[in-house]
C-alpha cells in the first residue's frame, strides 16, 4: 500500500475495484481545512473519466503496469490477435477492451499493450497514423473559398472528414484520438 504522496500523473491506481490512469494530480492546501489531492483519472476498462479528492495521507493502492510492444495481426470474431515479436506468442484481446481509436490501426502495425500481471488492461495506439485514402468523392474545381470537408474512407475502413483537395490514393495523417484529418503526407 502507498499513500497520497505517491500520486503522480501517469500512475495507475485501484479505485472502487477498477484500475484508473491518473491524468492530472494537483495538491491543494486551503486556508481552512486539511490538505488534499485533487485527481482527474480515466478508467482503463471503460475509458470514462472521473474526479476525486483524496485527503492528504490517505492510503491508496498503486497498480504495477508493464508496457510491451506487440504487433497487431488480425481480427478473429470478437477478438483482436496480437503477437510478441520476441517470443512469437500470440494473445487474443477482446475488441470491447480496445478504444475507438483502434479503427485506424492496420494489420502488422506495432502497438503497446499494458499488462497487470498477465491480464491486458489496455492497448495504446500511436497518436498519429498515416493511412491511404481508398474512396472519396472528387472535389469540384473552384470550391476552395471556404473550409469545405468531405467524407473519405481510409484503408482500414474508417471514415474521416477531409478537405476537398484530397483524392483517392493520397496518403494522409490522422489523429487517432479525435479521428481528425491533420495533413497530406508526401511519399
What's the average model confidence in pLDDT over 78-82?
91
Which residue, 160, 151, 153, is CA-closest to 133?
A: 153
Same domain, 94 and 48: no
From 23, 45, 62, the end of a domain falls on 62
More confident residue, 145 or 182: 182
What's the average model confidence in pLDDT over 46-61?
88
Structural domains in the chain (count): 3
Confidence of residue 45 (pLDDT cuts 50, 70, 90): confident
Same domain, 78 and 100: yes
Same domain, 6 and 57: yes
Q: Is pLDDT at 31 greater than 90 in this prediction?
A: no
Residue 85 is part of which domain span? 66-124
Residue 127's pLDDT is 87
Same domain, 36 and 24: yes
Q: Is pLDDT at 155 greater than 70 in this prediction?
A: yes
Same domain, 84 and 104: yes
Please check whether residue 166 is in contact with residue 184, taking contact to mean a CB–CB distance below 8 angstroms: yes
From 42, 62, 82, the end of a domain falls on 62
Residue 171's pLDDT is 94
- Write down the mean pLDDT value for the chain: 87
Tell me the per-residue pLDDT of 6-28, one tens digit each, with 9 for 90 and over: 888 888 899 988 888 888 999 99
Same domain, 44 and 95: no
CATH number of the domain that residue 138 is part of:
2.40.50.140
Same domain, 71 and 50: no
CA distances 4 to 21, 33, 49, 102, Å, are 15, 17, 19, 33
Confidence of residue 47 (pLDDT cuts 50, 70, 90): confident
Same domain, 119 and 149: no
**b vs e for 92-115, b when ≥16 Cβ sit within 10 Å of the residue's Cβ?**
ebeeebbeebbbbbeeebebebbe
Residue 159's pLDDT is 93
Tell me the per-residue pLDDT of 90-146, one tens digit each, with 9 for 90 and over: 999 888 777 777 888 899 999 988 888 888 877 888 889 999 999 998 876 666 656
From 46, 62, 78, the end of a domain falls on 62
- pTM above threshold 0.85: no
Amino acid at each position: 500500500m502507498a499513500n497520497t504522496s505517491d500520486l503522480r500523473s501517469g500512475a495507475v491506481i485501484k479505485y472502487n475495484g477498477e484500475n484508473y490512469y491518473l491524468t492530472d494530480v494537483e495538491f491543494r492546501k486551503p486556508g481552512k481545512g486539511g490538505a488534499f489531492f485533487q485527481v482527474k483519472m480515466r478508467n482503463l476498462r471503460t475509458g470514462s473519466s472521473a474526479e476525486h479528492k483524496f485527503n492528504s495521507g490517505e492510503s491508496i493502492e498503486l497498480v504495477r503496469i508493464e508496457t510491451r510492444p506487440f504487433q497487431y495481426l488480425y481480427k478473429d470474431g470478437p477478438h483482436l490477435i496480437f503477437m510478441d515479436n520476441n517470443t512469437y506468442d500470440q494473445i487474443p484481446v477482446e475488441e470491447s477492451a480496445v478504444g475507438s481509436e483502434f479503427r485506424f490501426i492496420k494489420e502488422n502495425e506495432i502497438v503497446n499493450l499494458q499488462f497487470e500481471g498477465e491480464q491486458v488492461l489496455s492497448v495504446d495506439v500511436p497518436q498519429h497514423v498515416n493511412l491511404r485514402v481508398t474512396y472519396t468523392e472528387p472535389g469540384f474545381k473552384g470550391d476552395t473559398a471556404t473550409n469545405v470537408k468531405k467524407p473519405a474512407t481510409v484503408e482500414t475502413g474508417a471514415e474521416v472528414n477531409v478537405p476537398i483537395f484530397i483524392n483517392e490514393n493520397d496518403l494522409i495523417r490522422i489523429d487517432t484520438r479525435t479521428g481528425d484529418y491533420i495533413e497530406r503526407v508526401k511519399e
